Amino acid sequence: MRYKMGGLLATLVVGIASNSPALAEQSFPSKPVTIVVPFAPGGGADILARLISQDVAKNLEVPVLVENRPGGGTLIAAQAVARAKPDGYTVLTAVSATMVMNPHLYADLPYDPKKDFTPVTLASSMPMVIAVNPEFPAKSLKELTDHIQRNPGQISYAYGATGGQIVGELYRDRAGLDVQGIDVGGWAGFAVPAGTPQQVIDRLHEAFQIALSSPEIRSKLESLGQTV
């Protein structure tokens, strides 16, 4: 069984290895599972991980912990999970920045998205849009551009992940704007590190899919603009 991963769709990646692979597969899980989030608490990826962690814990019948390891444009968390023991107990909340964009932004990436991880399941996706406060004077992209040009250095924009930052920088560069971007954390989904036994991947996939199928969780994620 294989699961695709791409675009802004996030995936859950887990490292899995054991001194006794067959025994480990049969007994999985027998201890807490840790979901590593590459952003600080409160962002979209963190909310997603915490929303589903309780349901996943029920499905796996073991505690599921959420560990925040922000920094480095998701490199810190990705590298940590890529080097973790591939036994299914360390899971990466991976966003498009981790799996798709970083390979094109860093010449010396400390992990290989294709070789170091194995997808478990897709979680959610969301559109990329430019939005402003209803009271903001600009009501269209042209009006926004004109307003920023009239107020250089006074306007800032927030982005949730590297994809939003790239789009923001392209807009700033091509329109010749003096505007500052602010990272507020990204939206995400789920996957696991390469070498994970298929039986363990299937077990994780099932547990996360059951959690993501919960009407309550789907409703909460959709209220945040995510499509499950």
For 62-83, the pLDDT digits (tens) are 999 999 999 888 999 999 999 9
* 188 — pLDDT class (breaks 50, 70, 90): low
Domain that holds residue 153: 141-183
- For position 2, what pLDDT does the model report? 45
**Claim to verify: residue 147 and residue 74 sit in the same structural domain:** no
For 107-151, the pLDDT digits (tens) are 899 999 999 999 988 887 767 788 888 999 999 999 999 999 999
What's the mean pLDDT in 192-207? 92
**Claim to verify: residue 105 and residue 217 sit in the same structural domain:** yes
Q: Who's near 108: CB < 8 A, 6+ residues apart?
A: none
Q: Is 149 a domain residue?
A: yes
- For position 20, what pLDDT does the model report? 52
Residue 41 CB neighbours (<10 A): 13
Please determine, for residue 178, whether its predicted confidence score (pLDDT) is greater than 70.
Answer: yes
Q: Who's near 178: CB < 8 A, 6+ residues apart?
A: 148, 152, 153
For 43, 76, 87, 183, the CA distances from 165, given in Å and listed in that order, are 15, 18, 34, 8
Q: Is 201 a domain residue?
A: yes
**Claim to verify: residue 80 and residue 150 sit in the same structural domain:** no
Q: Is 59 a domain residue?
A: yes
* 6 — pLDDT class (breaks 50, 70, 90): very low
First-to-last C-alpha distance (Å) of the chain = 20
